Amino acid sequence: MTVPTLALNDGNAVPWIGFGTGTALFYKDAREAVHVAIQNGFTHIDGAQVYTNEETLGTGVIQSGKPRSELFITTKLYKLQPGATPKSALQESLKRLKLDQVDLYLVHNPNNHVGQLKEVWKGMEECKKDGLTKSIGVSNFAVEHFKEIFEVASIPPSVNQLELHPYVWKALQPVLEIHKEHGIVTSSYGGLSPLFRGESGPLNEVVESIRERLQATRGQPVSDSQVLSKWLQQKGVLVITTSSKAERVREYIDTTNVPDLTAEELALVERAGSLLHQRFFQGNWLSE
């Protein structure tokens, strides 16, 4: 099955769903998980320097036997060591990944580069111009971080990856407006957190009701996870998710085949999410 793609503002395209090698794989050997993900349909693998598993990620890609041309590989810049630049950091990542180029390189966290964001972004642009990455973007950026880099940017970010699910959708509107203005793709991590990390909340009943309707329409099983992932997909969001189980990996890929939520159902999810503001990762820089 071909995974649908999202158009980036630099003319490239990204698969709408990616397999993340953080969270459960943080500091761990990622080769088997990456191999399983690719064998079961994922073509987009999302890594980062801070996960400290780029080397095994690269090995998993090789062991999968999938041609490099059919894969989309992301990594992210961590804190810069003295004398290092985004370019030199990416060159080290490429050695670990056993690649000549990544498809997407993100500034992982603006708080790692306080007072240096402008310089860091110019370094990211250099990486793209020199062909070390096809696209560049950011992660965990709020409005003020965009304002800072836009003072010097000649290339806008293609992606902003951040915690995104219905419980933060309302608070994220100022950031999403910037994304819309500049054609930046919104990428979600922790998109299924309301189902797995929180206690029963206002989303639960709505998701279950939609799941039952979708399952009856499809005539095949539909999971709660697929309901939320489908909601994100219909919002034009790039979804990053993960699992150690092959059946769950196949379920994520199968979300593409789940019928669309109706306009009313999309609105119901958004309305239920607006009743609770809750983040599950990092510091809560989003206000109500």
In angstroms, the CA 47 to CA 53 distance is 8
Residues 6+ apart with CB under 8 A from 33: 19, 21, 25, 60, 242, 244
The class of domain 13-273 in CATH terms is: alpha beta
Output the DSSP codes for 115-137. TTHHHHHHHHHHHHHTTSEEEEE
Beta bridge partners of 7: 13
Known binder of ligand: residue 108?
Answer: yes
| Three-state DSSP class for residue 255 | helix
Is residue 51 annotated as a catalytic residue, yes or no? yes
pTM here?
0.95
Tens of pLDDT, residue by residue, the chain (288 residues): 688 999 999 999 999 999 999 877 777 888 999 999 999 999 999 999 999 999 999 999 999 999 999 999 999 999 998 999 999 999 999 999 999 999 999 999 999 999 999 999 999 999 999 999 999 999 999 999 999 999 999 999 999 999 999 999 999 999 999 999 999 999 999 999 999 887 789 999 999 999 999 999 999 999 999 999 999 999 999 999 998 899 999 999 999 999 999 999 999 999 999 999 999 886 544 443
Active-site annotation holder among 27, 51, 105, 252:
51
Q: Residue 20: name the closest of 161, 205, 220 by CA.
A: 161
- Per domain, the residue ranges of the chain are 13-273
Are 103 and 135 contacting, i.e. CB atoms less than 8 angstroms apart? yes
Measured torsion, CA atoms of residues 32, 33, 36, 39, in degrees rounded to the nearest 10: -100
